[in-house]
Amino acid sequence: MSDTHTATDKKRDLTKGSIPKTMLLFALPTLGSSALQSLNGSINAVWVGRFLGEEALAATANGNILMFIMISFVFGFGMAATILIGQAMGSRNEVLIKRTMGTALGSIIPISVLVSAGGWIFAPMLLDLLGTPPSAFDLALTYLRMIFIAMPVTLTFTLMMMALRGTGDSTTPLWFIIISVVIDLVLTPTLILGLGPFPEWGIFGSAVATAAANAIALIGMIITLYWRGSVLTLSMPELRFLRADREILKSMFSKGLPMGLQMIVISSAALTMLSLINREGVQTTAAYSATQQLWTYVQMPAMALSAAASAMVAQNIGADQWSRVAGITRWGLIFNVVLTGTMIGVLTAFDSTILGFFLGSDSPAVPIGRHIQLMATWGFVFFGIAQVFFGTMRANGYVIWPLIVMVISMYPVRLGFAFGLYPVLGTDALWLSFPAGMVATAVMGGGLYLHGGWRKGKNLSAEEAAQRSEGYRAQVGTCSSCRDMAPTTSWKHLPSLRIADLRHKLQSID
């Protein structure tokens, strides 16, 4: 593989060194990125609610539900690309990294443009399907159409951040999320209220601010990656990689769709639970909404550690360092218990004060929120355990059974618990159904990790991809134009690779 990247390329080799140190260095910036994005969303909601009213806030909520669904699908697609990039990093195959990145960009950009156009046209129909309140419909339509206009930028920005994490670089995405959040925080009130020379655009200004912030951050990220000579960048001759490689694209969709569907399963179950909670009255719903704000932050360590485990395991599988995989999983579980457990402890100690921030210290919903928090929040320790297991397994393309586990946990277990035990436990059945589902997910996830076939599965090996995509290889000392890349099948004739190929075939027969 060519090793021509500059010294400023921030990609990190996740196949060497101390596992706990490497995991923390990777996971903490990812955790910071998630916290900043959530905090930004909370602050923007405050601006919209205070200056534009409840109807505008309801409008953004309806638009954001659809946005979450779209991000869920690109999350799965991006995770599949991250896995392939991580495996290629581990095997030191720079050409495969570029082909994977080119295929991902060459696919997601035209798809997002089509979604953007379709979303503009069908936005009124989508809002009708959501049952958007009539008083918020016009505002929601304006907001949603701006979201769809910005879709190509938003999804490309998300994809590139995930690809960077696949190379072992979680710091660069953090810096550009900081840039995006700062710009958004300044532009949102400016464009909502029309401060200074800027127009007063109301809710349209809120959507424009987010779109502009993402666009500026994306442009800055691209410039930075080219300045560094990142392995993810494509030179002029390499732009041909934007034409999707059929085998890589097939692997991305076959692995990415189940991961995206996991997010959809979680959100659909949450909507069903919300319909049950709404029956308990406005104070209970308000208390639950405030508790959800706390849960947003409680689950962040689990998601960051899951991403870290996935990237690290993918690189180590690519480097054929299976001996490190168990250690990565073990440390992910340890850090999850420590970090998530600490956050739960802090919330439990100060829950009245924190809930009062959202509800008002004298609100009768505060005691209800405290009860919900005590009954349910402890389950996120098990949520984190499951996410670490899933992150490890999906690094080798094992995604179907984790999806099945999520469906079972969300529907027969969580919703079954809530519906079935409500006559006995009352509202406590609703709150206990959350940890019940999380414990079930962790137990089944652990069973898959220990006894599932994820170690035998494979995503797309470097040799297979090289053979199926014209057999390109990079010679030592490859120039940036890649002109000295020539078709080859010489790897097939190396004795060690013939033996490895035979071993893979024997394993597939078993």
pLDDT mean for each 10 residues of the chain (510 residues): 43 80 89 82 69 63 65 72 80 88 89 86 79 73 85 88 86 93 91 88 87 94 94 91 87 79 76 76 77 84 90 87 92 96 92 78 85 94 95 86 91 92 93 95 95 69 36 31 32 38 45
How far is 163 from 176, CA to CA, in rounded Å? Answer: 14
pLDDT for position 387? 93
pLDDT at 58: 59
Give the SS3 label for residue 486: strand
Count Cβ atoms within 10 A of the Cβ of residue 400 and give its class: 0-12 exposed, 13-18 middle, 19 or more buried: middle
Tally of CB atoms within 10 A around 199: 11
Model pTM score = 0.70
Tokens of 216: 């500026």
Tell me which long-range contacts 272-279 makes (C-beta under 8 A, separation of at least 24). Answer: 272/415, 273/414, 273/415, 273/418, 273/430, 273/433, 276/418, 276/419, 276/430, 277/430
Q: Tokens standing for 470?
A: 């014209």
Q: Tell me the residue type at 129.
A: L
pLDDT at position 21, please?
Answer: 92
Burial class, 362, CB count within 10 angstroms (exposed 0-12 / middle 13-18 / buried 19+):
exposed
At 296, list the tokens: 């947003």
Residue identified by tokens 């990190």 is 12
How many CB atoms neighbour CB 352 within 10 A? 13
Query: Exposure pattern of 471-484 as b/e (b: 16+ CB <10 Å)?
Result: bbbbeeebeeebee
DSSP state of 473: E
Compute the distance between CA of residue 300 and CA of residue 233 in angstroms, rounded to an integer. Answer: 29
Amino acid code (one letter) for 458: K
* Angle made by CA atoms 99, 104, 107, in degrees to the nearest 5: 120
Residue identified by tokens 């599965």 is: 457
